[in-house]
Amino acid sequence: MADVGSFGACAEMADLFGQADIPEAANRNETGGRRGAVNPAERRPLADRLRPRMLSEVVGQEHLTGEGGILSRMLAGKNLGSMIFWGPPGTGKTTVARLLAKDSDYAFEQISAIFTGVADLKKVFESARMRRSNGRPTLLFVDEIHRFNRAQQDSFLPVMEDGTVVLVGATTENPSFELNAALLSRARVLTFKPHDTTSLSLLLNRAETIEEKALPLDDEARQVLLRLADGDGRAILSLAEEVWRAARDREIFDSAALQEIVQRRAPVYDKSQDGHYNLISALHKSVRGSDPDAALYWLCRMLDAGEDPLYLGRRLVRMASEDIGLADPNALRVTLAAKDAYDYLGSPEGELALAEATVYLAAAPKSNAVYTAYKQAMRAARANGSLLPPAHILNAPTKLMKEEGYGSGYRYDHDEPDAFSGQDYFPAGMKRERFYRPTEFGAEQRIADRLARLDDLRKRRNSD
């Protein structure tokens, strides 16, 4: 599916140079009756009618298309290079690619990785070679390029290198993970941003201008409509059309009526892709940052989008170990209990237990001392090889082992003053290291005080 540009959207395979270039004022039969009645079935979608005709009309991507933006510089220098457009749906990736081809006088060829195989690619490359031999370059736009496998991605390399095509690939997924290194080394990655409320509002204003009527929404409903679009320019225009179709004469919708009409739009979220990792990262960092309100919001965003609640329960257990640790030993118990409660109750009742655990973790004192100590100890274990424990702490169940010195000199801590012997438990030949450094937060302050006292005892007893 094609992406919508700002100031409008580009229908997937529409002719950029045909009917779209007819001024709207001369083609507005459906709104003003200026050239006679038109069959409503022939009315072009609003997103199609509002698509931009030049790069300067694109809104929402000013960092790329504005004065000084990389794409504007490319056009000014008449030197297009291969690019990967990375961004969410409805941000203008297809539209911008078409405009680049138009303004540079390149032939525009569009394919989708969903429907294209190796044989199709060969035909596309051969057509581009013929154009090139006749003096006209080709801009090849590949939608959903991340859906090509590694071998298919490699097939682009020769035609990019010899100039047969300028490749513009579009993807909603992180190119670092989905595209191979060879392709990325030959193409510049440009990030398209989701539309913010300012650019979405501009799209709505322009839609109202072309329709010659205001959206029948009160102020609150208009804000809800902007949120429902979820940063997608095509979506905001499609939603606006739904509202106009539903409205009776002089009817104004409030937010509740709006959501009933549009039946709300599913959140942009793929449980196996970037949306998943971005949101779980937001939840984790909100917990770490001791913000229970933000943490609850991200938890609810994921639950509302259909995330597996048990996955969230497992992540909360991880947060308890990584970010709270011994500053509040109850945190791990609370998260395990929440996971079990959800497993027992199911949805929706069990989700409240996950919310309780989320708030508990966010409000708890924080310490990553155990997490840091674990990583340092693991590095030391890998670096020092297979060192044996010191002989005095080895068990000696046989006579031979006793004769070999196993267990010799071991002091039973419970029989020692303060129930502490102060012996060395590191391998022979390995210098004692400090991995765990408790913080001053929560219960770890008491642990720190106790360990400091034991360190002092160890030094005194080993100096005797």
- 265 neighbors 230 (Cβ within 8 angstroms): yes
**Is the pLDDT confidence value at 106 over 50?**
yes
User: Which range has highest mean pLDDT (3-7, 271-275, 302-306)?
Assistant: 302-306
Residue with the larger pLDDT of the pair 228 and 272? 228
pTM above 0.85?
no
What is the structure's pLDDT at 1? 36
pLDDT at 57 over 50: yes
Q: Which CATH class is domain 197-262?
A: mainly alpha
Residues 19 and 15: their CA atoms lie apart, in Å, by 7
Q: What is the structure's pLDDT at 270?
A: 59
Instruction: Give residue 230's pLDDT.
Output: 83
Strand ranges of the sheet holding 165-171, from the earlier edge strand across to the other edge: 107-112, 138-143, 165-171, 83-86, 188-191
Ramachandran region of residue 330, left (φ > 0), alpha (ψ -120 to 50) or beta?
alpha
Residue 27 has pLDDT above 60, yes or no: no
What length does the chain have?
A: 464
Domain boundaries, the chain: 54-191, 197-262, 274-363, 386-463
Chain centroid, CA 291 distance in Å = 20
Among 120-129, 179-188, 366-375, 393-402, the minimum mean pLDDT is found in 393-402
- CATH 3.40.50 for the 386-463 domain, yes or no: no
From the list 138, 63, 55, the residue with the least C-alpha distance to 100 is 55
CB 207 within 8 A of CB 9: no
Average pLDDT, integer, range 20-28: 39
pLDDT score at 418: 86
The topology (CATH level 3) of 274-363 is: Zinc Finger, Delta Prime; domain 3 (1.20.272)
pLDDT at 15: 36
Q: Is the pLDDT of residue 34 over 70?
A: no
- Measuring CA to CA, which residue among 123, 113, 125, 121 is closest to residue 165? 125
By three-state DSSP, how is residue 350 classified?
coil
Give me the phi and psi of 112, to 5 degrees please: -120, 135
**437, 373 Cβ separation under 8 angstroms:** yes
> What residues does 253 pair with on adjacent strands?
217
How far is it, in rounded angstroms, from Cα 187 to Cα 84? 6
Q: How confident is the model at residue 32 (pLDDT cuts 50, 70, 90)?
A: very low
Residue with tokens 């929560």: 442
Tell the residue number behind the tokens 């409503």, with chain if given: 40
Q: Average pLDDT, whole number, for the chain?
A: 85
Q: How confident is the model at residue 102 (pLDDT cuts 50, 70, 90)?
A: very high
Q: What is the pLDDT of residue 193?
A: 92
- Among 35-44, 148-157, 210-219, 390-399, name the one with the lowest average pLDDT: 35-44
Residue 316 is predicted with a pLDDT of 97
The superfamily (CATH) of domain 54-191 is P-loop containing nucleotide triphosphate hydrolases (3.40.50.300)
pLDDT band at 145 (very low <50, low <70, confident <90, very high): very high
Q: Do the strands 138-143 and 165-171 form a parallel or antiparallel pair, or are they unpaired?
A: parallel
Residue 7: predicted pLDDT: 35
**Token couple for 436:** 């765990």
* CA proximity to 271, closest of 302, 247, 234: 302
Read off the pLDDT of each residue in 130-149 and give the average, rounded to a whole number: 94
Specify whether the CB–CB gap between 194 and 87 falls below 8 A. yes
**Residue 108 and residue 136 in contact, taking contact as beta carbons nearer than 8 Å:** no
If 0-12 CB within 10 Å is exposed, 13-18 middle and 19+ buried, where does residue 100 land?
Answer: buried
Q: Is the pLDDT of residue 109 over 80?
A: yes
Best-predicted range by mean pLDDT (293-307, 312-326, 339-353):
312-326
DSSP state of 248: P
**Among candidate residues 322, 325, 303, the one with its CA nearest the CA of residue 312:** 303
Question: What one-letter code names the amino acid at 93?
Answer: K
For residue 172, pLDDT beyond 70:
yes
> 192 and 85 in contact (C-beta within 8 Å)?
yes
State how far the Cα of 141 lies from the Cα of 95, in Å rounded to an integer: 10
Q: Do 59 and 51 form a contact (C-beta atoms < 8 A)?
A: no
